[in-house]
Chains A and B, each alone.
Chain A
Amino acid sequence: MLRLFVFELYKLFRLRSVGLGLLFAFLLPFLWALAPGLKEVYGLVLASGWQVVSLSLLAGMEFLFPFLVVMAASESLGSEVAQGTLKSLLLRPLSRTHLLLAKLLAVLLYPFVLLGVSFLGGLLAGLPHGLGAFYGGTGLGEGGFAGVGLLSPEMALAELLKAHLLAGAVLLPLASLALLYGSVFLSTTASALAAVATLLLMRLLVAFPALTPFLLTTYLDLHLRPQAAGLGLALLLIYTLGFALLAVLVFERKDL
């Protein structure tokens, strides 16, 4: 199983969407560090390199990172169907559940790699602004970007690491959902579209206040609200496992 997982991971990082995604995640912080309109749009003057890291996270989590994760998870199955290699794998005495679980583990690791690359890009892009103590905030803690006084590098790093880990957890059910649709449609495009459409539809359900605390979309900004992590993380985990279980059930009886 470990060798299968390693191979799935290798294949995942050979996907075009993953290569492009990692490139964008790395370059995005440089774009933000150089953006001339930050003050006009966000009322922000960069006071520290740490703020470049958080700005990239906030901007990326708006749409880009969820979309990249959904695309990667969809392509991990869809590309194998398109090039015919899925059939070759399943002609071997290999259980479909094992194969899908190996793929799932690989796509669940991807959000953390993506966010790690963004973090690294942010640190490099933020170097000219300095990574020492500064007056202000990371935008992720108390006082937003204005902060509440002097912020030490250790505290800034801790806030950013926590936010990136929470953001990674937020992206897990999206990867799982895309893999579920991948099992249903066996197509990259259909799976990605269905996953994005599901999230958009779920967002509309805010009109039903009784459902809101249980909706996946309620917790897509969990990295900004670490105080909600208790229920949020539990629900994200339930969604991730639920989508994964459905994906396995569908894939087990899917005609190829």
Chain B
Amino acid sequence: MEALRLEGVSKRYGRKPVLEGVNLAVRPGEVYALAGPNGSGKTTLIRLVTGLAFPTQGRALLLGEDVHKSPTARRHLGAVVEAPAAFYPYLTGRENLRLHAYLAGVKEEARIPEVLARLRLLAVADQKVGSYSLGQRQRLGLAAAILPRPKVLVLDEPTSGLDPEGVELVHGLLRELAWEGVAVLLSTHHLQEVSAYAHKVGILGGGRLLEEVALSGKEAYRLEAHPLEGALALLKALPQVASARLQGGAIVFEGDKDAALRALLREGFRVEALGPHRFDLLSYYQERVKHA
């Protein structure tokens, strides 16, 4: 079962559509990054998933439970929906977490120092949140989100306002949580950073999910050959090649590179270059949004 699922979710404010028919699913252990220009509906989508806003159509399910019908569905959820995360400024970081622990039904006392340590906040845990820097508040937000050991983590711009060490800390934490089986949905403008560990990227534009790009982790190769079209047709016909497509005057393919090279040379194609291909998510995203 998917940990998080959106089924035909639409949202209108008056007559203005903000999101239209969005379907997406995030499996346990998967990191799904939402990308899109400002105003594309990322924040609205995050608010709908977390139950803070209500869809005009469709539904949002957390481990099969409709988040808008049953507040208890949120027992699986950890989320930060604002940057920086909001806390009571007159309470200390530890007291704020204690309140969240109570609301989330966390009974383990040791869990609070554990998450504070994980987010490197122990030194300021007993200071009032009003004196925290933006980065410290953002990290405290993440600490509160992971406090109840959620199965689904939803984050809106989790690295916003963080210094490079903070960014690295957050990425490391998300990678670790995904490895432990937590489904992570995050919105971001920093595609290069998340492409290192995200499994899927959803590109939003004009309130629609334009495309889902699977960052499979399989090795891909970039081939420059002549004539290009013929080489592409050959690769597509080879059983050792899983996929092949044209990209920027070259062929990008997944599969056995030695078998592909042998076949190309046997058929008389002139091979000018063959090497590993690093998927440039940012360029792909820019191209996709431009043509949307």
* Chain A contacts to B: CB under 8 angstroms: 3, 7, 11, 14, 83-85, 87-96, 253, 255-256
Residues of chain B within 8 A (CB-CB) of A96 are 71
Contact A84 B77 (CB under 8 A): no
18 contacts between A and B (CB under 8 A): A83-B86, A84-B85, A85-B88, A87-B86, A88-B85, A89-B103, A91-B50, A91-B79, A92-B104, A93-B71, A93-B74, A93-B75, A93-B104, A94-B74, A94-B103, A96-B71, A253-B54, A255-B53
Contact B90 A90 (CB under 8 A): no
Closest to A90 in B: B52
* Binary flags per residue of B57-93, CB closer than 8 Å to A gives 1, else 0: 0000000000000011111010101100111111000
Among B53, B81, B86, find the residue whose CB has the most chain A CB atoms closer than 10 A.
B86
Residues of chain A within 8 A (CB-CB) of B207 are none
Given contacts A91-B51, A92-B103, 18 further A-B contacts (CB under 8 A): A11-B88, A85-B88, A87-B52, A87-B86, A88-B86, A89-B103, A90-B51, A91-B50, A91-B74, A91-B77, A92-B100, A93-B72, A93-B105, A94-B74, A95-B71, A255-B47, A255-B53, A256-B47
Complexed CA–CA distance, A11 and B95 (Å): 13
Complexed CA–CA distance, A233 and B88 (Å): 37
- Nearest-neighbour CB distance to chain B for A17, whole angstroms, equals 15
- Nearest-neighbour CB distance to chain B for A77, whole angstroms, equals 15
Closest to A95 in B: B71
* Chain B contacts to A: CB under 8 angstroms: 47, 50-54, 71-75, 77, 79, 81-82, 85-90, 99-100, 102-105, 144
Residues of chain A within 8 A (CB-CB) of B87 are 85, 88
Complexed CA–CA distance, A11 and B96 (Å): 13
Residues of chain A within 8 A (CB-CB) of B73 are 93
- Nearest-neighbour CB distance to chain B for A246, whole angstroms, equals 18
Residues of chain B within 8 A (CB-CB) of A7 are 99
Closest to A7 in B: B99
Residues of chain A within 8 A (CB-CB) of B74 are 91-94
Residues of chain B within 8 A (CB-CB) of A14 are 90
The 6 closest A-B pairs by CB, nearest first: A84-B86, A92-B103, A255-B53, A93-B75, A93-B74, A256-B52
- Nearest-neighbour CB distance to chain A for B45, whole angstroms, equals 13
Contact A94 B71 (CB under 8 A): yes
- Nearest-neighbour CB distance to chain B for A20, whole angstroms, equals 16
Complexed CA–CA distance, A255 and B99 (Å): 23
- Nearest-neighbour CB distance to chain A for B80, whole angstroms, equals 8
- Nearest-neighbour CB distance to chain A for B70, whole angstroms, equals 9
- Nearest-neighbour CB distance to chain A for B65, whole angstroms, equals 10
A256-B53 contact in complex given A85-B86, A91-B79, A92-B100, C-beta closer than 8 Å: yes
Contact for A87 among B82, B88, B103, CB less than 8 A: B82
Complexed CA–CA distance, A11 and B90 (Å): 10
Contact B82 A84 (CB under 8 A): yes
Closest to B100 in A: A92
Contact A3 B52 (CB under 8 A): no
Closest to B76 in A: A93
Complexed CA–CA distance, A253 and B105 (Å): 24
- Nearest-neighbour CB distance to chain A for B42, whole angstroms, equals 16
Complexed CA–CA distance, A7 and B95 (Å): 12
Complexed CA–CA distance, A141 and B221 (Å): 95
Residues of chain A within 8 A (CB-CB) of B90 are 14
Residues of chain A within 8 A (CB-CB) of B71 are 93-96
- Nearest-neighbour CB distance to chain B for A122, whole angstroms, equals 31
Complexed CA–CA distance, A130 and B100 (Å): 51
Complexed CA–CA distance, A84 and B138 (Å): 13
- Nearest-neighbour CB distance to chain B for A253, whole angstroms, equals 6
Complexed CA–CA distance, A91 and B144 (Å): 11
Residues of chain A within 8 A (CB-CB) of B77 are 91, 93
- Nearest-neighbour CB distance to chain B for A181, whole angstroms, equals 20
Complexed CA–CA distance, A95 and B68 (Å): 11
Closest to A98 in B: B71
- Nearest-neighbour CB distance to chain A for B66, whole angstroms, equals 13
Residues of chain B within 8 A (CB-CB) of A88 are 85-87, 100, 144
Closest to B73 in A: A93
Among A11, A85, A95, find the residue whose CB has the most chain B CB atoms closer than 10 A.
A85
Contact A87 B104 (CB under 8 A): no
Residues of chain A within 8 A (CB-CB) of B102 are 3
Complexed CA–CA distance, A92 and B47 (Å): 13
Complexed CA–CA distance, A95 and B67 (Å): 11
Complexed CA–CA distance, A171 and B90 (Å): 29
Complexed CA–CA distance, A11 and B50 (Å): 25
Residues of chain B within 8 A (CB-CB) of A11 are 88
Complexed CA–CA distance, A87 and B83 (Å): 12
- Nearest-neighbour CB distance to chain B for A93, whole angstroms, equals 4
- Nearest-neighbour CB distance to chain A for B275, whole angstroms, equals 46
